[in-house]
Structure 1
Amino acid sequence: MSDLTSTDLFDLSPVVPVVVVDTLDQAVPVARALADGGVPVVELTLRTSVALDAIRAIAAEVPEVVIGAGTVTSPALAKQAAEAGARFLVSPGATPSLLAAMRETGLPFLPGTATVSEALAVLETGHTAMKFFPAEASGGAKFLGSLPSVLPDARFCPTGGITLANAPSYLGLANVGCVGGSWLTPADALAAGDWDRVTALAAATAALR
């Protein structure tokens, strides 16, 4: 079981960095760079072959960072991420079997939704915290701003097309707890080992709250 709840995830940072590491040696330095910039959370996506090992490394070597697994697309991945040391799970969508598997890990999780029907399906399971993905392509802040009147209990972490420029339009909404963004960890910065740049980008998000 986790010491966090799903709604706690909204309070860790206004921006959750969505991180893709191509090599294992990027994992610990990028997590430390984000923490140095005041961002104590990482959603490391399960899109590369080293992702699970990267989660293990960050969990072991950077305990001050709350490490989570993103792009959880199957029950098997949910279990593997939990076993690797992830402290929360994020999925791009939500099927009944995936929802059940994430719940069974005992970890907090943000299931992906993009429509009112999908959000209702998640709410029917008793879960109120969810991801809104792909945010910009699915109606953006205007769409999310129209939901509280019909889905008053739902809270979201929008991800997909979020930038430093448009993040405030989401964070100003009552039903948005945080946003997810990849701009804090550009691929070229990771490839070059430019950890000072990552720290500076992380520090810039402090002004968003």
Structure 2
Amino acid sequence: MTTVKQRLSEIKVVPVIAIKDASKAAKLAQVLVENGLPCAEVTFRTPAAVQAIKNMREAYPDMLIGSGTVLTTKQVDESIEAGVDFVVSPGLNPTTVKYCQQRGVQIVPGVNNPSLVEQAMELGLDTLKFFPAEPSGGVSMLKALTAVYPVSFMPTGGVSPKNVNDYLAIPAVFACGGTWMIPTDLIDNEKWDELATLVADVAKVLD
């Protein structure tokens, strides 16, 4: 059985999405799937997140979908009900981690220093988000962490076309999270062709 981590490592870049109108979610999913990035991390930064996840899941049952900016156990429940494959949090909240483990859903919590990595390992985790990546020291900091700890990372926060391949070149990095290929204003204005070009450009770089 293919794990979430294996599927993420095959896709390599996870579009991190803040969507304001859930009715546009299925079309956005279509753009992602048809242009080489069949994955989305839909963040709880907007009230539309839960319905957007449901709409994506209904339209594309095989798409890899995660919820992001998950801060509470209630949001974990909402994520699972909506049909997510994984949960992402900006920080390491032991309560949220343990609840996800109890509910049987993969969580990728954010860490950015040795102490947090060790706390995550104590909770039985070995798949972590390095966040915010660039403000936390970027590639240099991540190389220092991966030299010490037997864990894998998904850098997110400041990842861009200029540095994404630098992150992906680190053996312990299985994927990167980014927003640059799905600008919120293009979603709001339904600029699907422009979004398709941005997504396809990412997929080409990763081939």
TM-score by length of 1: 0.93
**What are the equivalent positions in structure 2 for 1:1-209 lying under 5 Å apart?**
5-151=3-149, 153-206=150-203, 207-209=205-207
Alpha-carbon separation, structure 1, partners of 2:72 and 2:112: 18
CA contact 2:86–2:105 (8 Å) conserved in 1: yes
Cα displacement (A) at 1:9: 4.5
Cα displacement (A) at 1:4: 5.3
CA contact 1:10–1:157 (8 Å) conserved in 2: no
Give, as a single letter, the amino acid of the residue that structure 2 aligns with 1:52: V
- When residues 9 and 125 of structure 1 are mapped into structure 2, their CA distance, relative to the original with a 3 A threshold, is farther
Alpha-carbon separation, structure 1, partners of 2:38 and 2:190: 19
Cα displacement (A) at 1:12: 3.7
2:145 aligned counterpart, secondary structure: coil
Alpha-carbon separation, structure 2, partners of 1:33 and 1:208: 17
TM-score by length of 2: 0.94
Alpha-carbon separation, structure 2, partners of 1:4 and 1:18: 22
Alpha-carbon separation, structure 2, partners of 1:53 and 1:100: 25
CA contact 1:159–1:179 (8 Å) conserved in 2: yes
Cα displacement (A) at 1:6: 4.5
Structure 2: segments with no counterpart, 5+ residues = none
Alpha-carbon separation, structure 1, partners of 2:84 and 2:127: 18
Cα displacement (A) at 1:131: 0.4
Alpha-carbon separation, structure 2, partners of 1:13 and 1:138: 24
Alpha-carbon separation, structure 2, partners of 1:70 and 1:9: 17
Tell me how many residue pairs correspond in the alignment.
206
CA contact 1:14–1:179 (8 Å) conserved in 2: yes
C-alpha RMSD of the superposition: 1.4
1:67 aligned counterpart, secondary structure: strand
Alpha-carbon separation, structure 1, partners of 2:164 and 2:45: 24
CA contact 2:92–2:110 (8 Å) conserved in 1: yes
Cα displacement (A) at 1:10: 3.2
Note the alpha carbon deviations across 1:92-148, whole angstroms, 9 max, x for none: 011211110121221222111111110111111221001011001111111001122
CA contact 2:113–2:145 (8 Å) conserved in 1: no
Give, as a single letter, the amino acid of the residue that structure 2 aligns with 1:80: E
